[in-house]
Amino acid sequence: MAKQEVVEPPREIPLTARGAATRDRIVHAAADLMYVKGVHATTLDDVRAATGTSKSQLYRHFPDKNSLVHAVIALRGHQIMTRETQRLGRFSSFSGLVRWRNALIQANALQNGAYGCALGSMANELSDQDEQARTLLADLFKTWEELIAAGLERMQAKGALKPDADPEQLAIGLMAALQGGYLLANTAHDVRPMEIAIDQALEHLKSYLA
């Protein structure tokens, strides 16, 4: 029997510094456009116009729109998780959560609640249509929830949170209030619904304070 030939997958050619800079410029421009216009309303021609790239340059880095969208999710995920790790990575008191709440409200108030959360907005558009995007976004939300839950566990360890409190469930409740608040604020172009949603979740959490 003839020996079957093994075909190795093509090796990825590392990007040059110039190529990496072009790719980054494309992803950052696409992220900005998709945040303001939405994923579906943003075309590859929009991205080319915003970045001054040719079709061949764009398709060299991103063979289709889905691959660009996934790169945008990765970028936004890195940006938001870096920010949230700085805000939530050490809190161990209720006042730490209040400071986190205040920072989010103040940032969203600058644009009168418009556009919402970059991750939440993409989740609303993509979760039923792009399974890879849904999985990427779900993992990012899970990481965000885990940052909150870890802080609540620190509160519990120092006796500031009652032993019967469930940090994981409380973190999910806070995240649901946050994302729902973003959506309502975006619809109303008013940050007040976001304030109310988060504050009610925090009031529930206060019932577990020791």
pLDDT digits (tens, 9 = 90+) for 149-183: 999 999 999 999 999 999 999 999 999 999 999 99
Q: How many angstroms separate the CA atoms of 151 and 148, rounded?
A: 5
18 — pLDDT class (breaks 50, 70, 90): confident
Chain segment 80-99, per-residue pLDDT in tens: 999 999 999 999 999 999 99
Q: Which residues pair with 209 in a beta bridge?
A: 161
Across the range 98-124, mean pLDDT stands at: 94
Across the range 172-196, mean pLDDT stands at: 97
- Between 115 and 149, residue with greater pLDDT: 149
CATH 2.40.30.10 fits 72-206, yes or no: no
Q: Superfamily for 15-63?
A: Homeodomain-like (1.10.10.60)
Return mean pLDDT, the chain.
92
pLDDT given at position 13? 52
Does residue 15 have a pLDDT over 80? Answer: no
Residue 63 half-sphere exposure, CB side, CA atoms within 13 Å?
A: 0
pLDDT given at position 168? 97
Long-range contacts of 41-45 (CB under 8 A, 24+ apart): 44/68
Long-range contacts of 189-192 (CB under 8 A, 24+ apart): 189/112, 189/113, 189/114, 190/112, 190/113, 191/105, 191/108, 191/109, 191/112, 191/113, 192/113
pTM above 0.85, yes or no: yes
Tokens of 151: 């802080």
Across the range 53-60, mean pLDDT stands at: 93
pLDDT given at position 135? 97
Does residue 198 have a pLDDT over 70? Answer: yes
Across the range 118-122, mean pLDDT stands at: 96
Query: For helices 65-88 and 44-51, what crossing angle results, to 10°?
Result: 70
- Residue ranges of the chain that CATH labels 1.10.357.10: 72-206
pLDDT given at position 10? 42
Does residue 5 have a pLDDT over 60? Answer: no
User: What is the CA angle 74-78-84, rounded to 5?
Assistant: 140
pLDDT given at position 17? 83
**Cα-only R_g, the chain:** 21
pLDDT given at position 9? 45
- Residue ranges of the chain that CATH labels 1.10.10.60: 15-63
